[in-house]
Structure formats: C-alpha cells, structure tokens
C-alpha cells in the first residue's frame, strides 16, 4: 500500500503563495489607513475653510465688533504635525495676510502627523465681508492673490507614506471643492 503525502516542493509552493497573499493584504491595509488619514485631514481642513467663509459672510462679531478685515485660515507646514489656525484678520485689515502674533487666533488645529502641504510651507486664505472678496497667499513676497472673476486657488495635501494627493480648490465665487483619492 502506497502512503499519500505532500512533497517538499508542494509544501514550499503553498507556503510561498500564502506569504505573497499575506504581504499583499498587509500592504493594502497599511495603504488604506494612510489614504484614510489623508482624506480625514483634508476634509477637516476644508470644513475649517468653510467655517471661516461662513463667519465672514454672516457678519460674525468678535467682542462686539465686526471683523472688517475678514476671517481666514493659516496653515504652517514647517512644524510636525502641520498646524492650521482659524483667525480674525484684525491687525492690519488693509494687507489681507496672516500676521503671526498680531491677528487674533480663534482656534488651532493639527493635520494628521504624516499629512503635509505639497510645494509650499505656508498658506493662508481670507474671506472679507461684506464684499465677498477672497485673498490667498503663501507668505512669500508678492504671493498675495485676490480671487477675481475666473481665478481659482488650489491647495495640495500629500501623505508622506504614499504617493497620493488631496486637492482643495477655491474659486472666485467662494465655492470650496475637495477631491480626495
């Protein structure tokens, strides 16, 4: 009577296939978590942009005064994790830029540890009531841009662990769109 058994080659093939499948599953789980971090961070930042916009357009008052210089969001990508601030442009309302230490910070947030701005270190956007003017800039000299008719501003976020991007686009009418992977 002949005994039935697996050969060494069959066992090695089964172990190899199992190892490859396990590796692929682990990589997908890890990458899925990184995509989730990128989506969550970009959605949160988009909501803060919309909050600043609503505060400006609704005439929100701080300490009984209307913020004539507008409400904005400033993102500082030189820290880890990246920090962003919801602020009142109340220091020098004619320059429409974020002034560290002078403008009133209402709240401070952090992006996920591995999510950062792509291509710029600083970014700000200011929504000015009641005209609805929108200004964006990057703290570089000459970077201030008024979103006049037909202009758009695009902010790109990236995750350090994967080659995926999220895009926040603001157009001159104030529409804020988020595109995530």
User: CA 38 to CA 113: how far, in whole Å?
Assistant: 10
| Structure confidence at residue 1 (pLDDT) | 63
pLDDT tens sequence across 77-93? 888 888 999 999 887 77
Low-confidence winner among 6-10, 42-46, 49-53, 155-159 (lowest mean pLDDT): 6-10
For residues 181 and 169, what is the distance between their CA atoms, to the nearest angstrom? 15
* Local structure of residue 4 (DSSP, 8 states): P
- Mean pLDDT across 20-26: 77
E-only strand ranges, the chain: 61-62, 65-66, 71-76, 83-88, 104-110, 115-117, 122-128, 133-137, 145-146, 152-159, 165-171, 176-179
pLDDT band at 149 (very low <50, low <70, confident <90, very high): low
Report the share of the chain in percent with pLDDT over 90.
Answer: 27
Tracing tokens 């009577």 back to the chain, one arrives at 1
Residue with more model confidence, 31 or 152 = 152
Peptide bond between residue 141 and the one before it cis (omega within 30 degrees of 0): no
Q: Which pLDDT belongs to residue 61?
A: 82
């Amino acid at each position: 009577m002949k005994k039935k058994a697996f050969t060494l080659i069959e066992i090695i093939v089964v172990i190899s296939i199992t190892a490859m499948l396990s590796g692929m599953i682990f990589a997908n789980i890890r990458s899925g978590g990184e995509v989730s971090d990128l989506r969550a961070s970009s959605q949160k930042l988009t909501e803060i942009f919309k909050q600043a916009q609503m505060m400006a357009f609704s005439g929100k008052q701080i300490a009984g005064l209307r913020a004539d210089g507008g409400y904005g969001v400033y993102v500082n990508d030189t820290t880890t994790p990246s920090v962003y601030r919801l602020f009142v442009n109340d220091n020098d309302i004619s320059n429409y830029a974020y002034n560290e230490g002078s403008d009133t910070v209402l709240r401070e947030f952090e992006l996920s540890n591995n999510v950062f701005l792509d291509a710029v270190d600083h970014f700000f956007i200011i929504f000015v009531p009641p005209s609805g003017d929108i200004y964006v800039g990057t703290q570089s000299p000459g970077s201030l841009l008024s979103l006049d008719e037909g202009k758009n501003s695009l902010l790109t976020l990236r995750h350090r662990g994967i080659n995926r991007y999220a895009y926040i686009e603001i157009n001159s009418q104030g529409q804020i769109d988020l595109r995530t992977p």
